């Protein structure tokens, strides 16, 4: 197998053609040089060829090249399909999007070709995303969920609920406040992530730059892993003041000031929304330790428009702990009990964060 880069005119040829050796041609649009692209050419494709008894000629195109990206979209449009994720594989009359769909679809196509001497006719049921199960979103959700119990964010939440309790808010008012606060936090983190992810996408548009990004992410998360493990042992020993990865005292005071200023009973809804948004921006200095490496992972795995899918998944995970805490307070959990729980479990949160940093350090090289 070898990569062949055609001029634009040749890519307009119909899909069901033979290569130089008379083998049927398949066209792969992916990130040339990425791990899965190499794995597909060196291992997955030969295995499928052996199972099906059909050899093919692979023609690979770099989806990060604007010309080939547009060609890929045009070819999908001819099949009345939309570009939603890469890699994209054109086989005969069908196209398969995403790694799982690509592998399952290619094997079925070649078996059909061996039996019938031609590829399957186009069918929207098994073309496009047929057979795909995108597991790349699972680490994104887990990262968001763990970031939601990040001591940085949780400490602010404990203070916020304590402040509401001191004000004499009823359970119903706290529940409404919690809903508005959660919505505001979700919106703020989503918009911050949207801007950062797509800015990085514009800057990191070549395989070399993506490789450099992986090195940077591994180094940064490796440092955070060491620091978080140190924090774990300090927290376990009750030496909370010596913890490294936490909001500075100046930032804590600033957050507390924002909460006190914007949450009087007058104009409650607007104040809570402003609080959630402002606190989210300030907290990013601490919670960004998880968010930024995860965004780098999103760049590698999510080709959806603006990366919206991964951002929605991450931030859904991020606000789940908020929702659960406000629900528990509504059911009768006191702010004092919540604070005690946080103090007793902070070392567990640090350990889980350390495991997440280890995962991010490694997984960035597997996509």
For tokens 């936490």, the residue is: 246
Is the bond preceding residue 183 a cis peptide, omega within 30 degrees? no
Domain that holds residue 236: 137-363
pLDDT digits (tens, 9 = 90+) for 233-261: 988 888 877 887 777 777 778 787 877 77
Identify whether residues 178 and 238 lie together within a single domain: yes
Enter the pTM of the model: 0.64
User: Does residue 5 register a pLDDT over 50?
Assistant: no
Out of 81, 116, 151, pick the residue that ends a domain: 116
Question: Residue 228 corresponds to which tokens in the numbers above?
Answer: 């978080």
Identify whether residues 302 and 159 lie together within a single domain: yes
Q: At what angle do helices 268-301 and 137-148 cross, to 10 degrees?
A: 140
Using DSSP, state whether 5 is helix, strand or coil: coil
For tokens 């699972």, the residue is: 138
Identify whether residues 265 and 354 lie together within a single domain: yes
Query: How many distinct structural domains can be found in the chain?
Result: 2
Out of 55, 85, 116, pick the residue that ends a domain: 116
Highest mean pLDDT among 8-12, 15-19, 301-305, 348-352: 348-352
For residue 44, being part of any structural domain is answered with yes
pLDDT confidence tier of residue 314, bands split at 50, 70 and 90: very high
Phi and psi based region of residue 14 (left: phi greater than 0; alpha: psi -120 to 50; beta: remaining): beta
Average pLDDT over residues 1-27: 51
pLDDT digits (tens, 9 = 90+) for 207-217: 677 778 888 98
For residue 122, being part of any structural domain is answered with no
Average pLDDT over residues 57-83: 88
Measured distance CA(199)–CA(295) in Å, rounded: 11
For tokens 């679809």, the residue is: 105
Per-residue pLDDT at 19: 47
Identify whether residues 204 and 251 lie together within a single domain: yes
Per-residue pLDDT at 191: 93
Question: Residue 226 corresponds to which tokens in the numbers above?
Answer: 């060491």
Per-residue pLDDT at 320: 93
């Amino acid at each position: 197998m070898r990569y062949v880069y055609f001029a634009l005119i040749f890519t307009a040829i119909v899909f069901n053609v033979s290569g130089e050796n008379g083998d049927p041609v398949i066209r792969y649009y992916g990130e040339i040089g990425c791990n899965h692209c190499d794995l597909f050419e060196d291992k997955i494709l030969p295995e499928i060829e052996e199972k099906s008894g059909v050899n093919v000629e692979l023609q690979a195109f770099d989806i990060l090249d604007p010309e080939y990206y547009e060609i890929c979209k045009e070819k999908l449009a001819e099949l009345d399909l939309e570009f939603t994720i890469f890699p994209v594989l054109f086989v005969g009359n069908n196209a398969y999007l995403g790694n799982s769909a690509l592998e399952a679809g290619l094997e079925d196509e070649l078996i059909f070709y061996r039996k019938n001497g031609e590829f399957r006719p186009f069918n929207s049921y098994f073309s496009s995303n047929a057979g795909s199960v995108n597991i790349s979103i699972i680490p994104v959700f887990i990262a968001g969920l763990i970031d939601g119990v990040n001591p940085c964010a949780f400490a602010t939440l404990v203070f916020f609920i304590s402040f509401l309790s001191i004000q004499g808010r009823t359970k119903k008012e706290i529940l409404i406040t919690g809903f508005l606060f959660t919505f505001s936090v979700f919106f703020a983190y989503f918009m911050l992530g949207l801007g950062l992810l797509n800015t990085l996408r514009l800057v990191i548009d070549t395989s070399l730059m993506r490789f450099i990004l992986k090195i940077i992410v591994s180094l940064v998360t490796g440092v955070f892993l060491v620091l978080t493990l140190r924090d774990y042992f300090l927290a376990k020993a009750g030496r909370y003041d010596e913890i490294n990865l936490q909001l500075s005292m100046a930032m804590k005071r600033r957050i507390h000031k924002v909460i006190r200023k914007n949450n009087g009973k007058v104009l409650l809804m607007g104040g809570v929304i402003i609080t959630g948004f402002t606190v989210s921006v300030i907290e990013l200095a601490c919670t960004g330790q998880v968010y930024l490496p995860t965004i780098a992972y999103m760049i590698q795995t999510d080709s959806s428009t603006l990366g919206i899918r991964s951002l929605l998944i991450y931030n859904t995970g991020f606000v789940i702990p908020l929702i659960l805490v406000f629900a528990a307070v509504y059911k009768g959990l006191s702010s004092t009990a919540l604070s005690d729980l946080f103090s007793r479990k902070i070392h567990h949160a640090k350990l889980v964060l350390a495991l997440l940093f280890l995962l991010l350090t490694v997984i960035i090289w597997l996509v």
